[in-house]
Structure 1
Amino acid sequence: MIKIIKKKNINGLLLIDKSIGFTSNKILQRIKFIFKVKKAGHTGTLDPLASGLLPICLGECTKFSSYLINADKIYIVTALLGEKTDTADKDGMLIKKTDVNISKIEVMKVLQLFHGRINQIPPMYSAIKYKGTPLYKYARLGINFSYLKKRKITIYQIKLLAFDKNKIKLKIYCSKGTYIRSIIDELGDKLNCGAHIIKLRRLKISHISVFNKNVITLEQLKFLIKNYQNNQLNISLIYKLLLPIDYMISNLPKLYLSYRVIYTIKCGQKVKIKKIFIITQTIFRIFEFNSLKFVGICIIDKTGYIIKHKLVNYVI
């Protein structure tokens, strides 16, 4: 049995390449157990049949998880045409089966309908809650809501990578809140043959890619820890997998402030940043001037005043 790593105040971003068959929550709970952290969270659920990038925020990193949850994402999906299921994936019950006689050109024409800003109805088999209960629990009881509210999403790019008789492979670059299973289900309906997902992989969230050198599978992490326990591996190698808290928001501009100003902000006093020019309010990453240590984020309005902030607890 793998023992936990005993280390306190673990704060950082762990990039997991989720394997097929696991729920996102199971991965999260395992990571919490291994690193012995009370506070941790993932930044976007992947279904058990899906694999790919699953960032795990540990400790103070959870304060900034919304920046990845709300970020754009890229997926690779393989779908089977001619079969419609109740869950829009291969784990669901077959509802309808149709002979497929569709050309590549027809598929490409229909895909064009999904480009841009579109309305999408969330699938019943999703974690969206209705009266405090996830929709998938209603679905498992045979309860379906035909009046679910449509949500605005953006498909920046949907590209056909492969077409072979009744199978298609797509690359989808989309906004937050996009359900790939809904896209495939609707695509099947528009092609008049039905379709469902047989393979799904998340490649990217914001600027973070599954091909990052720090990405690791849960199985690989367990192997590293087992070797560590057998004195074959230095523990520092395991912790090198953790990326700094601000890595997930590294696309935001930096702002260097003195310890005194940071303390003033922490105390809730109004602070104006001199010698700064911005047209509209902007989010900045805050760093302490001398130590160069990341301490949080703030929003500055066009007059230079900090109107909102979020600081890590262990800084001051």
Structure 2
Amino acid sequence: MARKRRGIPIHGWLNIDKDAGLSSAQVVGRVKRITDAAKVGHAGTLDPFATGVLPIALGEATKTVGYIFDETKEYRFTARWGEARNTDDIEGEIEATSEVRPTRGNIDAILPAFTGTIRQRPPAYSAIKIRGERAYKRARAGEQLDMPERDVHIESLKLVDMLDDDHAVFEVICGKGTYIRSLARDMALKLGTVAHLTALRRTRVGPFSEKDAISLDKLAELWQCPAEFEDLLPLTTALDDIPALAATEEQACRLRHGNDVAVPNQADGIVCAMDGNIPIGIAKIEAGRLYPVRIFNI
């Protein structure tokens, strides 16, 4: 006998403004309890000490999470010069210090070296898997990790404020896989000092912006009347950059059953197949035929 799924079917996205002190998984748990949604997931992990935009997918929107991972992200962060910590953020233990404090001119001079495609070594305290286990678990157990470098893309990086000799505030626009903790660490080394993050806020993830984000407390308050809730975004929000393709009634039926259909005169590529205003699923056009990739059960 099949197990009955707990929760109610809710399909769409929530733009949550995460508080400091919560893990991304804890936010997912809170959203699940507030909404009683049957399925909830997040797009793009935020460190517990970080705040800001955490897109939360409900129901069939979880099938589109992968498209958010590829989106450009924006952050505002504060680097604290003169102290290196083992986690590269304020939650870690001090492991090195320096008396060197960079000037505004020093900082401006090194920013071009951290713009474009750069090589970056992720923090040891990260969720990257090393030999099948999360790096942070190995690091907490005292293992010395040699984290592999990888290419990341920095679209822009600018100094926006110098709070005092010890603290500088930056804004960055970057691609997937970029670690802001590593960025601050490497900038400091280039400046002849050491650093860690004292504040990190994500201000945008693709179509999700901080100006439209809501707190968990606000969600709990507004969700008291779900029928009147206006902050649930469409399932297709994560697919804004993917062309929509209108399907006929017959094509929609075939696609929902996992069958391909003919689409002559259509260019090859990924599309979102639509049955009127209802998304059928993500599909791929190849040589005049449309093949279902992920079908939405709505």
**Smaller-chain TM-score bracket:** over 0.9
Identity of aligned residues (%): 33
Alignment of 1:94-243 (within 5 A): 94-146=94-146, 148-163=147-162, 164-212=164-212, 215-225=213-223, 228=224, 234-238=225-229, 240-243=230-233
Partner in structure 1 of residue 295 of structure 2: 311
Partner in structure 1 of residue 3 of structure 2: none
Alignment of 1:236-275 (within 5 A): 236-238=227-229, 240-275=230-265
Residue 258 of structure 2 contacts residue 292 of structure 2 at CA under 8 Å; is this kept in 1? no
Amino acid at match of 1:295: I
Q: Secondary structure at the match of 1:199?
A: strand
Q: Which runs of 5+ in 1 are unaligned?
A: 1-5, 229-233
The CA deviation at 1:269 is 3.2
Alignment of 1:292-311 (within 5 A): 292-301=277-286, 303-311=287-295
Equivalent pairs counted in the alignment come to: 292
Amino acid at match of 2:294: K
The CA deviation at 1:224 is 3.3
Equivalent-residue separation in structure 1 for 2:27 and 2:258 (angstroms): 37
Equivalent-residue separation in structure 2 for 1:90 and 1:137 (angstroms): 18
The CA deviation at 1:308 is 4.6
Q: Secondary structure at the match of 1:211?
A: helix
Partner in structure 1 of residue 87 of structure 2: 87
Amino acid at match of 1:304: G
Q: Secondary structure at the match of 2:261?
A: coil
Equivalent-residue separation in structure 2 for 1:252 and 1:26 (angstroms): 30
The CA deviation at 1:100 is 3.0
Please identify runs of 4+ aligned residues in structure 1 that moved more than 4 A.
none
TM-score (norm 1): 0.88
Name the Cα RMSD after superposition.
1.7
Residue deviations 1:148-190 (CA, integer Å, cap 9, x gap): 2222110111111112322111111111011100111111111
Amino acid at match of 2:231: L
Residue 100 of structure 1 contacts residue 166 of structure 1 at CA under 8 Å; is this kept in 2? no
The CA deviation at 1:7 is 7.1
Q: Secondary structure at the match of 1:65?
A: helix
Equivalent-residue separation in structure 1 for 2:157 and 2:122 (angstroms): 19
Residue 32 of structure 2 contacts residue 40 of structure 2 at CA under 8 Å; is this kept in 1? yes
Q: Which runs of 5+ in 2 are unaligned?
A: 1-5
Residue 9 of structure 2 contacts residue 38 of structure 2 at CA under 8 Å; is this kept in 1? no
The CA deviation at 1:203 is 0.7
**1:181/1:306 CA distance change after superposition, 3 Å:** same
Q: Secondary structure at the match of 1:158?
A: strand
The CA deviation at 1:34 is 1.8
Residue deviations 1:84-127 (CA, integer Å, cap 9, x gap): 11111111111112113422111111121111111111111001
Partner in structure 2 of residue 3 of structure 1: none
TM-score (norm 2): 0.93
Q: Secondary structure at the match of 1:125?
A: coil
Answer yes or no: is 1:38 the counterpart of 2:23: no
Residue 84 of structure 1 contacts residue 188 of structure 1 at CA under 8 Å; is this kept in 2? no
Amino acid at match of 2:275: E
Equivalent-residue separation in structure 2 for 1:153 and 1:268 (angstroms): 36
